[in-house]
Amino acid sequence: MFQQDLEKPPLSRQEFSRLSLFHNVSYESIVGYLLHSTIDEVEKDYVLIDPAKSEKRLIILLEGQLEVRIDSKNGILADNIQEGGCAGEMSIFDNCNPSAWVIASKKSKVLIIPASTTLAMLNTSHDLCLNFLHLLSQRVRYSNKVVCKDQYHIRCIEKHSQIDSLTGLHNRRWLQEMYTRELKRSQAGDFRLCAFMIDIDFFKRINDTYGHLAGDVVLMEVATCLNESLRPSDMPVRFGGEEFSVFLPGTTTENAKIIAERIRANVEKRQIRLPSGAIVHVTVSVGFAEREKSDTVESLIDKADKALYQAKQHNRNRICMYVSKDETFLF
């Protein structure tokens, strides 16, 4: 590491004027303070700022490139500092230890100004204060953009984690959160609420006869048919395997029966073309139940599932309504 002679200013007037931090700043008003500063040449990977060390100083990059890393010296890359940029000013302003590592990403030349000298320069030059304010506002804006971008990606990840990748319907993870919310809303306002359990009849035969890719096509087609048959307020979910569930807010058993029949009929008449070119038809069985005051998400789905079992026991391609523990009604 090379240090220049401290008896003369480290920066010429021309070099001084090229630095954005000193834009509109009088060279004569600052040059005396710069006598207390040094220019260092550092090799690649040299650590200029380390949070474990309490030393506070302003570093202005004259040549090369610096990296700002968080968590550790080899941690997450937070930013790159290009020529003319600076680092270390925040710990001078708030008198706290640095919060990130600043490392030379290649051989670099830097101007190092002690903390006390930096503060003295700020007291002397109004324009230098404005330049620092401009710099900090840019960094806040950049940080806000990073935060917004991260939040967007987090929301995307959360959304995709709640979507079944094959059918595009929501999955069981989404079910638990949203069905619980809808059930509480229904109970609080004493609104009607029905639940469906739907199963593709003889689905195993499709897989055994045509292969699992054909089975995937059938699942996607049934999911599409389900979406086309439901209202915008209804909440379809791929429950697992060839089973689907739906919560139907504000729905009586009479309307639920009409919607269930629409699903059953639409699936039955749908022509499904498999990857082999073969055309197949499938059917579904539907069980449904209406919310009672004591119901949880699990108990309501369980009632609909019991009705589904009865529909499948009675030749499938049918609808069955749960009435009570010992009674169901077939349509």
Is residue 227 predicted with pLDDT exceeding 90?
yes
Question: Is 67 among the residues known to form the active site?
Answer: no
> Quick one: pLDDT band at residue 158, thresholds 50, 70, 90?
low
The pLDDT value recorded for residue 282 is 97
pLDDT in tens, 39-57: 999 999 999 999 988 789 9
Q: Could you please state the CATH topology (level 3) that the domain comprising 172-330 is classified under.
A: Alpha-Beta Plaits (3.30.70)
The pLDDT value recorded for residue 286 is 98
d(CA 248, CA 255) in angstroms, rounded, equals 10
In degrees and rounded to multiples of 5, residue 196 shows phi and psi of -110, 145
Is residue 25 predicted with pLDDT exceeding 80?
yes
Mean pLDDT throughout 84-96?
92
- What the block records as the tokens of 177 is 């959160």
Token pair 């030379």 is at which residue?
104
Q: What is the pTM of this model?
A: 0.59
Report how many helices (DSSP H) and strands (DSSP E) the chain contains, helices first. 10, 17
pLDDT in tens, 49-83: 999 887 899 999 999 999 999 888 888 888 899 99
User: Among 3.40.50.300, 3.40.50.720, 2.60.120.10, 2.60.40.1660, what is the CATH number of 2-152?
Assistant: 2.60.120.10
> Quick one: pLDDT band at residue 159, thresholds 50, 70, 90?
low
pLDDT in tens, 168-209: 999 998 998 899 999 999 999 889 999 999 999 999 999 999
- What ranges do the domains of the chain cover? 2-152, 172-330
Is residue 150 predicted with pLDDT exceeding 90?
no
Selected catalytic residue, list 7, 242, 268, 292: 242
Q: What angle do CA 108, 114, 120 make, to 5 degrees?
A: 130
Neighbouring C-alpha atoms within 13 Å toward the C-beta of 50: 8
